[in-house]
Structure 1
């Protein structure tokens, strides 16, 4: 069995480039570092390092072992953090995944609520625009967009929290800029800026609404995200249509107008892993997300 401590020393040598530098970083003597390297190479039966001038460089086998050591040491670090949490009575970690437009709009409030109510909880945030196929890759809590009644998969429960209507974002001076609302069909002949390069559910929802209004939008520019699309609108290139949460912070020189007849709407859900649904951290997170959604609605 490999000695984990020797792996740490070996990884330090690879990162530092020499025994002397690794010894200085670790607080060891060069002799102690050399002894650990010799023992590791004896254990593995491999030549892991070769001379390179005054330093050392990893061999092909050394590169492979260093990469694997990174993974092993990372997992060991996670286990050590868990043990520290359990020993000190902290309530552990909570992973939350969310999509881009709720990041700035909701997540600061959510994180503040969790860290205030449960200061011992470690929060792992992940930007994720889709639900991972693998159960192991899924977060404890994930904010997602989905069709009404969508199935989050076995072992997970979806809670509807918000309906987000789409708005038209127009450059200042546009003929519709002073209106409170505009019919979607009235935008049929406008120059459109696309804001969903991934062609995701939100874009499909918009296209379906345009079809119901009797037209297909003519996209003149394809942007990868909402902020870029809004910048194009501000430059007078065209208009963009996006969910209201994406238009929460508009740049200068643009305005948003409600869409009617029809009003495209995306439904936002919080998907919770059933195994942790009743933990204080998850319950606090879901309550905070509902609170953020309520603020958005108001």
Structure 2
């Protein structure tokens, strides 16, 4: 079994480029660092470092071990944080991942409720558009966009929160402004502003709806997110079509109109790790997200 302490020292040498620098950073003597490196190479049976001028550089095996050490030490750091939370009597930590439009519309209220009801909990928030393939990299709770037949994978449970229909966001004075709804096909010849740099599920859903309406939108401007696309609309450059949640806060003069025949709709789910689903932090977060989704549905 590899010695974690030696992995830390090895990783410091790789990062600093020499035994002397690593020793200074760690508060050890150079001879102690060298002894740990020798022992690690003996344990692994690998040449991990080679001389490079006055310093050291990792071999191919050293690079691979350093990358794996980063992951091991990160997980160990998380475990140490958990132990610190338990010793301090805190209710633990919860990691939450979410996509951008939910972050702006829901997360401040969700976080406020969790911290109000559970002031000892530590929340680790991350903006993330996709679910990682690796289980170890997944958050305890993640808000995602997915289809109705969404499978979150073994060990995780998905809870449907909201069906979010798309709307057309129009500049002031547009011929369709003020209408309650507009056929998607009526937008075929308009100047379109794209709003999804990631080319993810939301954009694919929109393109599929446009195809069903008999056209492919001609994007004049490629924007990377909803607020930027809306800013282009406000400048009179064109229109953009996006989920209602992304059009919750529009600048003066910009209006939104429901899109029909067909209406693109994205489904929003929250995926909860089964191992922590029973904890107060996870239950409170899920309840707060359901409340936020319910409020959005009423608007």
Task: Name the SS of the counterpart of 1:168 in structure 2.
Answer: strand
2:180 aligns with 181
CA 1:51–1:170 in 2, change beyond 3 Å: closer, same or farther? Answer: same
CA 1:145–1:34 in 2, change beyond 3 Å: closer, same or farther? Answer: closer
1:291 aligns with 291
Matches within 5 A, 1:1-298: 1-131=1-131, 138-147=138-147, 152=152, 156-177=156-177, 179-184=178-183, 185-196=185-196, 200-203=200-203, 205-206=205-206, 214-221=213-220, 222-250=222-250, 255-259=254-258, 261-262=260-261, 263-296=263-296, 297-298=298-299
Could you tell me how far apart the structure 1 residues matched to 2:22 and 2:210 are?
Answer: 63
Could you tell me how far apart the structure 2 residues matched to 1:60 and 1:148 are?
Answer: 45
**CA deviations over 1:70-115 (Å, ceiling 9, x no partner):** 2332232223223333333333332323222111111122122223
Greater Cα offset, 100-109 or 191-200:
191-200
Conservation of the 8 A alpha-carbon contact between 2:23 and 2:30: yes
Could you tell me how far apart the structure 1 residues matched to 2:66 and 2:149 are?
Answer: 47
**Aligned-pair distance for 1:125?**
3.0
Task: Name the SS of the counterpart of 2:254 in structure 1.
Answer: strand
**CA deviations over 1:104-148 (Å, ceiling 9, x no partner):** 111122122223322333333343434556655544323233455
Gaps of 5+ in 2: none
Conservation of the 8 A alpha-carbon contact between 2:234 and 2:254: no
CA 1:72–1:138 in 2, change beyond 3 Å: closer, same or farther? Answer: closer
Conservation of the 8 A alpha-carbon contact between 2:233 and 2:254: no
RMSD: 3.2
Could you tell me how far apart the structure 1 residues matched to 2:153 and 2:48 are?
Answer: 45
Count residues in correspondence.
295
Could you tell me how far apart the structure 2 residues matched to 1:46 and 1:151 are?
Answer: 42
Could you tell me how far apart the structure 1 residues matched to 2:15 and 2:287 are?
Answer: 44
User: TM-score under structure 1 normalisation?
Assistant: 0.81
CA 1:294–1:135 in 2, change beyond 3 Å: closer, same or farther? Answer: same
Task: Name the SS of the counterpart of 2:268 in structure 1.
Answer: strand
